[in-house]
Amino acid sequence: MISVAAIRMQQFGVQFYQASLSAKDIDKLVRFEVLTYGEQAQGVRGGRKRAAQPSKVNWDLLERRIAANEKAYQRQIIRKKIDELVQYYEQCRQARDLPSIPGAVIISCDEALKFEPASSDASIGTLKVPEREGILRAIDGQHRLLALHADRERFEGEDFSVPAVIFDRLPEDHVVQMFVTINAKHTRLNASHLVSLSGRQLYSDDSLAAAHDVVRALNDREDSPLYGDIKLLGVGKGRIAQAPLAQELKKLFASETFGPGRKGEAFREESKKFYVNYLKQVAQVFTAAWGGRKYSIKSATAMRAFIRVAPDVVRRLDQEHADRTDFRAIGRVISPWGRRIGDLRFETEGAWKRAGTTVESLAKELRLALQYPEGAAV
């Protein structure tokens, strides 16, 4: 056990501790992790561009310290922020007129903590923390603690304490809710990161959870026409934002057609396969636009429109008594789009701009082309 000075506190029946951790304690006990998906995911945001001043951070060592998995909740680490914090710590160390981490970081402990009061019923005492590597998780302050870890060699011999608020075995959903509450406003937590937490960890939302699964399938499956193209968690190389797609899918899964009920549940089960095959056929119908750079077919507006007309496509499949996920059947249903709409409709500097395209206006055109495949007047 590691013994640290602490104050036992309580708010609305929740007990936690205000404690003092040394830089050595932080280095050993805190594990650093970020929410990411798949093998291509990275834990650090920002390329290694040549800066005006060389970085004092050994990024190879630091990145190996950061775990990345689907059960974490932290954002990707921002390289520039770490560099700036390390420089600030150095300034504080040299000037010795300001503390570098005067405010408490917020931490959750995975295992039970033991508090020994200084006297009977005292709130001041000693907190016993199990001496196990990575037993603590940062809820707020991960960048500050990573910068401290990166700069630790320069702190050797220093009496350096970090104020910390420590929670004892806080439930996972409470941890995530606290993280979002702290970060959603003043640090502008991006909408796509919130989408991934919502429905999966933050609160129970079946529609958003189903939408999240579809977006993940579209981005992660190698047979998907959007493989690697979606900017999951708001970062990465993808060109298509996650949040607009997920919100549009959420509306669809909450609608009368695919909402609660037997039919809605059946569609949710097959929705990932349906949308992968559906968009594969869209890519074939609009081949030039899909593969060209001067088109807006992969914009959030166009993607949302294609999602919005999916119920119409499904209804046509049902009328033909076809399997909703059948690749060829989907192709037959949407083939009129090639004749009635065509690639040029998505040319960014052409019809797309001239028409002042919106999600609803494009969705209307797509529906009419399904309704009048032979070219009846619009």
Note the pLDDT tens digit of each residue in 309-323: 999 999 999 999 999
DSSP structural state of residue 343: G
Q: Are residues 289 and 342 in the same domain?
A: yes
Specify whether 176 is located in the same domain as 214. no
Q: Are residues 146 and 227 in the same domain?
A: no
Assess whether 173 and 236 both reside in one domain: no
- pLDDT category at 259 given cuts 50, 70, 90 is low
pLDDT for position 183: 65
In a domain, 193, yes or no: no
Q: Do 179 and 220 share a domain, yes or no?
A: no
- Domain assignment of residue 168, yes or no: yes
Strands (E), 180-314: 230-231, 240-241
Q: List pLDDT tens digits, range 41-51.
A: 555 656 555 44
Average pLDDT over residues 111-122: 90
In this structure, what token pair is assigned to residue 8?
């036992």
| 168, 15 contact by CB (below 8 A) | yes
* Domain finish residue from 133, 149, 183: 183
Helix and strand numbers, DSSP H then E, in the chain: 16, 13
Is 284 inside a domain boundary? yes
Which of 119, 151, 183 is where one domain is finished?
Answer: 183
Tokens at 223, concatenated: 């047979």
Instruction: Report how far residue 373's alpha carbon sits from residue 378's, in angstroms, rounded to the nearest whole number.
Output: 11
Q: pLDDT averaged over the chain? A: 83
Show the CA angle centred on residue 115, arms to residues 109 and 119, nearest 5°: 160
- Does 127 reside within a domain? yes
Residue 376 lies in a domain: no
pTM of the prediction? Answer: 0.60
pLDDT exceeds cutoff 80 at 258: no
Query: Which range of residues forms the domain containing residue 129?
Result: 2-183
CA 250 from centroid of its chain's CA atoms: 16
Total of domains in the chain: 2
The last residue of one of the domains, among 183, 217, 241, is 183
In a domain, 190, yes or no: no
Locate 211 and state its tokens: 């939408």
**188 band by pLDDT with thresholds 50, 70 and 90:** low
Is pLDDT at 329 greater than 90 in this prediction?
yes
Q: Same domain, yes or no, for 8 and 138? A: yes
Q: Which of 109-123, 190-204, 277-291 has the lowest mean pLDDT?
A: 190-204
- Is residue 137 situated within a structural domain? yes
Average the pLDDT over 286-306 and give the result: 94
- Kindly state whether residue 244 falls inside one of the protein's structural domains: yes
Q: Are residues 159 and 280 in the same domain?
A: no
pLDDT band at 14 (very low <50, low <70, confident <90, very high): confident
Whether residue 249 is found in the same domain as residue 168: no
Work out the pLDDT band at 357, boundaries 50, 70, 90: very high
Whether residues 270 and 124 share a domain: the answer is: no
Based on the fold, state whether residues 213 and 288 are members of the same structural domain. Answer: yes
Domain identity same for 240 and 178: no
Same domain (yes/no): 127, 33: yes
Category of 126 on φ-ψ map: left (φ > 0), alpha (ψ -120 to 50) or beta = beta
How confident is the model over 61-116, as pLDDT tens digits?
A: 777 777 777 777 677 778 888 888 888 888 787 777 788 898 899 888 988 899 99
